Chains A and B, each alone.
Chain A
């Protein structure tokens, strides 16, 4: 390492006002003219760190130095002035504007009060040829493919004398040939002297591109090494952490014949998180099948198809031997589907409706007397739910929005678990909620499985998966790449290589 790296993070910490610690004492250095990878699970703090570097967030303590000089980056404009450009995973582009307008938005060349269109166009062409990223300056952005839009996003990041380019999981939205193309561009950019910070889950990509890697885990730097000094397995261990010793629950299947049988399930989609490629899986009554995988590996598509909100392009799903492909959510729910969604306020309930309404929606037709609902019975039932689930709330008629995430999740879980389901999809059931609430919901899921329900558990929390699951399958790039019976030998370190796409089992 030279004495004066281009970027140096110095004891950067970030605590959000709600008490979440996103980063603690993060320190490492990035050499000029290299591609530097940052690896870590979701919530490890990578994105927060990049937001600090690009001026979107301020650190609580610590700071950073560029070219050895301490700097304060208060806003994206200050970052741009220092030559830092960021390519977001979800592009910050405007679909209705042309490529030129998008790239030069906010820094248009002017002619008096008017935008000098000819000059703007020339500047974009110049920029495109300088970095050999060919784009049509006059095309309307929304007519372009995602890969072409990404080129525009990269040019936009490069448009202000950029020296440091940050890419946040740039391959998540690309097909394999598009990814290769992008990598050639990135290598060429580095050869022109640019420094690139590359955030990725995928070790293969990191191995292909980067000279140095920093791994992060739970807001801390867990490792920092030159790529030539570190093996893939070592990186996987640094990302996933060492094995934890929590007792395994592992409910036993109660029958040999599967309740849910999925065969050859395929969903074609632009977004990698929706894409599924010939998924096979069985879930028996009483069994919890855990799905491990880095975020965006196809979890969303799998849940959509199994919950009846998307029709698969190919493959079959059967419930107790009956084919159900094409049945919508309503029909599947009548068969006994329950679904604890990943985004509790977007899909799982309504902030504006009361706890009673949220807890009994769907079951409300059971609370009728003639044509009328029986509000008192509904409130009473909700009171019982509040008691058994230990929901901390002002009362059954409070709006759901008044509750904390954990308590809201309890209400939603009570609704989904209370229907005596035969198949439960639990998608990130304990994400972002406190430990007590999380334990309670996990216990409820296990109890449901023990009563004979088939459970599909998707979780970014490996400890949760390894504690609850009967079997664990790993989803990578829309494919189930491995399935393991759960045992104390199954550790995050063993799953890691599969999750990161290094290994594929039969």
Chain B
């Protein structure tokens, strides 16, 4: 079995490499220095500590969102409210940090808690609609993201907007609420450690607790869960509540770690990245970490290429899209012939 799992992982990696090459090589050939483009993209991000820091900094919110999506997908749900939850979690956290009269050591945790609860509503409402009425959580969460965005912008404009700032941004986040920086010279903050911890705890929850096991049973075969007498709807809802809380917490941590003011004017896109991360990680909380770092590396590499050559960094978006399509294509990554080529033994039908 381990052999087969390794073959699957190897095949996924091979697909990823092929996709990166497929986008990168033609783009490089349009430039006078094709090798430069390729090496900048592949190795540029490792050239100095600042770029490495950028990778980690980009990967942190992706880990929270990827973990949230992974836990939701494992329970057989497809809730895209993580995007809105991340946004609203950030806003709720900033609002709480500005409005709560708390002393320094309590302010950040309290603000994050408020943000997590407020933000998670974007996942919870579709979850309840699904559990109660059987409404597709995919559709309702997709719609609700935009409701969350505009409600959030309204609150920002009416309640939190700093009239002296010249743009629609909040008052400055109080220094007491900021998360401490970990390393001098770049912007990595405590939130990164929290993200790693969350992924670890997520793996423990999913594979080592009764609740996580039950959610995996529901995700693997809801008929089987019903046959065992499990409360299928509640378990599905629980996964969406947990996912919403994690994504919203990620939004709050992003704000308190990196931002001076709440300044998002649109959905930040971290939730969508989280979907890509979770799918690359095959819904495994621990694999969310490398998947998030990989996407962070790709983003930094793309930015470096865009800055130094005449290549738009939308190329990275193209790679992400292609990755999503190819990695989810069961015909490709579950193909028995290809799996055998990567060392899997036959006979293990899925």
In the complex, which residues of chain A have a beta carbon less than 8 angstroms from the beta carbon of B221? 346, 349-353
One digit per residue, 1 when the CB lies within 8 angstroms of any chain A CB and 0 when it does not, for chain B 211-249 equals 001101100110110111111000000000000000000
In the complex, which residues of chain B have a beta carbon less than 8 angstroms from the beta carbon of A286? none
- Whether, in the assembled complex, B348 has its beta carbon less than 8 Å from a beta carbon of chain A, the answer is yes
- Whether, in the assembled complex, A19 has its beta carbon less than 8 Å from a beta carbon of chain B, the answer is no
Given A346-B221, A353-B221, 12 other A-B contacts at CB below 8 A? A307-B227, A346-B223, A347-B224, A350-B217, A351-B349, A352-B221, A357-B216, A362-B230, A364-B213, A368-B210, A395-B1, A399-B348
Main secondary structure of the interface of A (DSSP, over half): loop
In the complex, which residues of chain A have a beta carbon less than 8 angstroms from the beta carbon of B348? 398-399, 401-402
Which residue of the partner chain A has the closest CB to B210?
A365
A352-B350, A362-B228, A394-B1 given as contacts; is B213 within 8 A of A373 (CB)? yes
* Complex A-B: 30 CB contacts under 8 Å: A307-B227, A309-B226, A309-B227, A328-B229, A329-B226, A330-B229, A334-B229, A346-B221, A347-B223, A347-B227, A350-B217, A350-B221, A351-B221, A351-B349, A352-B221, A352-B350, A353-B220, A353-B221, A357-B213, A357-B216, A362-B228, A364-B210, A368-B210, A372-B209, A394-B1, A397-B1, A399-B348, A401-B349, A401-B350, A402-B347
Is A330's CB under 8 angstroms from B217's CB? no
Among B53-85, those with CB < 8 Å from A are none
In the complex, which residues of chain B have a beta carbon less than 8 angstroms from the beta carbon of A309? 226-227
- Whether, in the assembled complex, A375 has its beta carbon less than 8 Å from a beta carbon of chain B, the answer is yes
A375-B210 Cα distance, complex, nearest whole Å: 11
Among B186-224, those with CB < 8 Å from A are 204, 208-210, 213-214, 216-217, 220-221, 223-224
A308-B204 Cα distance, complex, nearest whole Å: 33
Q: How many residues of chain A have a CB within 8 Å of chain B? A: 37
In the complex, which residues of chain B have a beta carbon less than 8 angstroms from the beta carbon of A330? 229-231
In the complex, which residues of chain A have a beta carbon less than 8 angstroms from the beta carbon of B230? 330, 362
Is B228's CB under 8 angstroms from A361's CB? yes
Residues of A within 8 A of B (CB): 307-309, 328-334, 339, 341, 346-353, 357, 361-362, 364-365, 368, 371-373, 375, 394-395, 397-399, 401-402
A397-B1, A402-B347 given as contacts; is B224 within 8 A of A348 (CB)? yes
A365-B209 Cα distance, complex, nearest whole Å: 9
Quote the shortest CB–CB distance from B272 to chain A (angstroms).
26
Quote the shortest CB–CB distance from B333 to chain A (angstroms).
15
In the complex, which residues of chain A have a beta carbon less than 8 angstroms from the beta carbon of B223? 346-347
Task: Enumerate the 6 nearest inter-chain pairs by beta-carbon distance, A residue then B residue, closest first.
Answer: A330-B229, A329-B229, A350-B220, A350-B221, A333-B229, A362-B228
In the complex, which residues of chain B have a beta carbon less than 8 angstroms from the beta carbon of A331? 229
The answer, among B209, B217, B227, for a CB contact under 8 Å with A353, is B217
Is B1's CB under 8 angstroms from A353's CB? no
In the complex, which residues of chain A have a beta carbon less than 8 angstroms from the beta carbon of B1? 394-395, 397-399
Of B208, B221, B224, B226, most buried by chain A (CB within 10 Å of CB) is B224
Quote the shortest CB–CB distance from A129 to chain B (angstroms).
42
In the complex, which residues of chain A have a beta carbon less than 8 angstroms from the beta carbon of B349? 351, 401-402
